[in-house]
Structure 1
Amino acid sequence: MKLEQVKEIANAILYEGYLLYPYRQSAIKNRTRWTFGGIYPREYSEGNGGRDPWTMRTECLLEGQAEHLSLDITIRFLHLLVRTVVPPDARKDEQVEELSDTWGLASRFADEPLQEGRERDLSILDLSLKDVLFSPRCVAIEFPATCTVEYPPDAHGIEIIREQQALSGVCTLSAERVATTIFKLSITIENTTSVTGDATNRHDAILFQSFISTHTILQVHRGSFISLLEPLKELQPLVSECHNLHTWPVLVGEQGERDTLLSSPIILYDYPQIAPESPGPLFDGGEIDEILSLRILTLSDEEKKQMRQDEHTREILERTEALTPDQFMKMHGTIRDLRPNSKGEKA
């Protein structure tokens, strides 16, 4: 399965809970993010009794000849940033200045900063199984702190400041032979970011130093993965020895394909699919697309203005406003298949 197709499913996980209806950060339920797959700095996690994890581990089985097997592994997560719109006559607030170690440059202005997420990918391509079969391989995860200033055209001197804190971590890959042609692959992701300011005691602040909605995409060449959900009976003892931490690996692709695995922080079944009637992601898998789309259309002009402040929610608004009556009807209800019931009638 092509990586682009897998990412359509993975993006539903990446942005699950990113912002919920009514898609503005001023809403109470959006003031604290509830996204899955958070990997927090080790210092923060251990200081809070391990309540928030600092590591994620994927263990899965694959089969083939060791000398032929190779893997493409992609680790993905969101890196949160602070976005502030600064009017030309903004003045620094001395009281807010005291929080600069936590919020940085952007928060020193009177306007309330917003949060945005930037997609981060770490790809390890053409990894030979033999290379990690004899000794683990460690790959650094490093994203430096950044601060950018944007001057939108025709904005009369307004500045948009986007500021991100540094992230650091490590990915460790290892493998062991568990049968003649079956191997157990382990991928451990750790957040080793040094905690700054008072983030140790503030969950909202520590999110900017965390890996958000973390998941892993694995593709094997000249081999195949073994389902951990529905393995052959003789493989069940080997499956029971796979210990996954804060993640659940499932097969993805067309039914029966076994070359791609998605290790998801959300419990899924093998071969998850996005409903073809869905016009696009809404960041809330627990909602019904039709109802949520209708709700978006009822938002006030001021609420829509706030929704446009984030590029991801702006895309939702523009897509929803462009829906045709036929597209709404497709969301109203779909029969996937018909099958006979016990009396021979179709159900």
Structure 2
Amino acid sequence: MSARTGAGSGTAAGMAAGTAMDTARKVADAVLYEGYLLYPYRASAAKNRLRWQFGVLVPPAYVETAEPSASVTECLVEGASNALVRVRLRFLHVKERRVERAEGDGFVPVPRLEAGGTTYLTFDEATEREVEVVLAMPALLGVERTVPVAIPGDHAEEPVPAGNGAAPLGRVVTEHRPLRAVLRVTAESGAGPYGLTRLRVRLENATAWTGDGTREGTREGTRDGTREHALLRSLVAAHLLIGVTAGRFVSLSDPPEWARAAAAGCVNENTWPVLVGEPGYRDVVLSSPIILYDHPRVAPESPGDLFDATEIDEMLHLRTRTLTEDEKREARATDPRAAEIIRMAGDLPPEMMERLHGAIRHLGEPARREPLPWWDPMSEAEVSPGSDSVTVAGVEVARGSRVRLSPGRRRADAHDMFLAGRTARVEAVLLDVDGARHLAVTLEDDLGADLHRSHGRYLYFAPDEVEPVAPDGEAGA
């Protein structure tokens, strides 16, 4: 759904602001679907049973989970006294999907139905909603403009065919509950030096809530007054894209020194406004329920949305490919977007998979710095881990010595059983605050020993947990 109201939406300036906001849409979409479904993308997965975690604005009368019913965005604009302000509200509207089995003259809700090789699951989906308003900045100064938002409900039924002309086995019922929200927009001039204006947008969920299974304008519901039911009347992943046709926003994350006090005075509740678009552009702000940095980007190598903006695309694609056919079948039945992920992972060509291994963003001369010693010799002049030694079974053991590990005497770590009997090279002899000696070692058969050595990452053992090994490999002095 898209609604546009207010003056200026047809002007060249208004169109320019709209173009900038469309550029920011890809990042906003990542926010919109953050956590929508998580690997392994199946309804039965534990992590997909408690859903809708970010940007949820519940009906104000619903207080069981203490989740907010409103958000407040305050941001700073310079040189925008005659600007048009474009506010675009975006959120997910939960769509109940209920599978019902035919029984007698009626239907009974069930978790799933199998028919003709197709699986039908009871599992909620979501529909994108978008509402946009364009307002003139002069009309906002010192005045609060109220913009009502009404999203109608709907109800649909689809039979589950039995085949061979028989009566349907059941039906799939989908339903949106009606939603009501309010945008309250105002501005304050003189919020800081150099003509700064503070823009304030309050978003409220104004949907009625009675806590039972009956909802205004819909048939009698089938769920009780739990969070699952409240989500049907909530704005999920709600966020704002705010653009101006003149002037520029000021970063609240890293404001210039002259605007730092004014930025600190901005109050943001349940949201975090950041600059979006290409670096250097300051005409659009994303007010996100997730903390982001200015000018966030989705990696260009990402072939599609995996519903996790911090995702490691390669890992998730590879793991999706390892799902069994039964698991893939359930994922496809879980949600159309999950079905698309299964298709995308299976069809991804090798050259695109290679791009997921890594990318070089910048080429240039690397900074040359002197390597810092992992041990500060100035801390204790009498201690030198690289040259100190300790006597073990009558043999002086120091850096470079070979030892065989015998951690079974102490077994301080459950993983010690895998190290017993393996040979290692001593990298340092350490002294702790109690005066006890410890050996830092690397395993001789560890292919990553050089890497561990360069990073100063060692295994540590007491002297009585090792046996000296002669150069020919025999234990003893």
Give the TM-score of the pair, scaled to structure 2.
Answer: 0.64
Equivalent position of 2:110 in the other structure? 110
User: RMSD over aligned Cα, in angstroms?
Assistant: 2.4
Q: How does 1:175-194 map to 2 (within 5 A)?
A: 175-177=187-189, 178-179=191-192, 181-194=195-208
- Distance in 2 of aligned mates of 1:278 and 1:343: 34
Cα shift at 1:258: 0.7
Instruction: Say yes or no: does 1:146 pair with 2:154.
Output: yes
Q: Mark the runs of 5 or more structure 2 residues left unpaired by the alignment.
A: 1-18, 113-121, 214-223, 372-477
For 2:133, the aligned partner's letter is I
Q: 1:318 aligns with which of 310, 332, 343?
A: 343
User: Residues 153 and 331 (structure 1 numbering): CA distance in 2 closer, same or farther, change over 3 Å?
Assistant: farther
Question: Offset of 1:152 from its aligned partner?
Answer: 8.2
In 1, Cα distance between equivalents of 2:20 and 2:304: 19
Once residues 70 and 181 of structure 1 are traced to their aligned partners in structure 2, the CA distance between those partners, rounded to angstroms, is 16
Q: Identify the structure with the greater helix proportion.
A: 1
Q: Choose from 33, 51, 69 the match for 2:66.
A: 51
Identity %: 38
Alignment check: 8 A CA contact 2:80 2:247 kept = yes
Mean Cα deviation higher: 323-332 or 310-319: 310-319
Aligned mates of 1:64, 1:154 — CA distance in 2: 66
Distance 1:184 1:79, change over 3 A: same
Q: Quick check: 1:165 aligned with 2:181?
A: no
Counterpart in the other structure of 1:99: none
Q: Is the 8 A contact 2:80 2:248 kept in 1?
A: no
Matched residue SS, 2:306? coil
* Change in CA separation of 1:111 and 1:65 when aligned onto 2, cut-off 3 Å: closer
In 2: Cα distance, 1:287 partner to 1:173 partner? 35
Letter of the 1:188 counterpart: R
Task: Show the 5 A alignment for 1:52-131.
Answer: 52-66=67-81, 68-86=82-100, 92=106, 108-112=108-112, 113-125=122-134, 127-131=135-139
- Structure 1, unaligned runs of 5 or more: 94-107
One-letter amino acid of the structure 2 residue matched with residue 259 of structure 1: D
Aligned counterparts of 1:238 and 1:301: Cα–Cα separation in 2: 57
In the alignment, does 2:352 pair up with 1:327?
yes
Deviation digits for residues 168-197 of structure 1, max 9, x if unmatched? 121100100024521000000111211144
Question: How far off is 1:160 after superposition?
Answer: 3.0
TM-score (norm 1): 0.87
For 1:144 and 1:227, locate their aligned partners in 2 and report how far apart those are by CA, in whole Å: 37
Q: Deviations over 1:1-25 (max 9, x none)?
A: 5333211111101111001111112
CA distance in structure 1 between the partners assigned to 2:255 and 2:211 by the alignment:
48
Are the aligned partners of 2:52 and 2:237 in contact in 1 as well (CA < 8 Å)? no
Q: Does 1:38 align with 2:62?
A: no
Q: Once the two structures are superposed, what CA deviation does each residue of 1:190-249 show, in whole Å capped at 9, x if it has no partner? A: 112111443785222211111100110011102111111111101101101101001111
Q: Which amino acid aligns with 1:130?
A: P
Partner Cα distance (1:161, 1:42) in 2? 27
Which whole-Å CA distance do the structure 1 matches of 2:278 and 2:70 have between them?
31
* Secondary structure, aligned partner of 2:318: helix
Tell me the residue number matched to 2:145. 137
Secondary structure, counterpart of 2:209 in structure 1: coil
- Conserved 8 A contact 2:87-2:242: yes
How far residue 86 of structure 1 moved from its aligned partner, in angstroms, is 4.3
Higher relative CO (CA 8 A, sep ≥ 6), structure 1 or 2? 1
Whole-Å separation in 1 of the counterparts to 2:288 and 2:187: 20
1:175 counterpart SS class: strand
Aligned to 1:102: none
- Of 5, 20, 42, 1:24 maps to 42
Query: 1:252 offset after TM fit, Å?
Result: 0.7
Q: Which SS does the other structure have where 1:285 is aligned?
A: coil
* Offset of residue 60 of structure 1: 0.1
Return the letter of the residue paired with 1:21. Y
Query: Rg bigger for which structure?
Result: 2
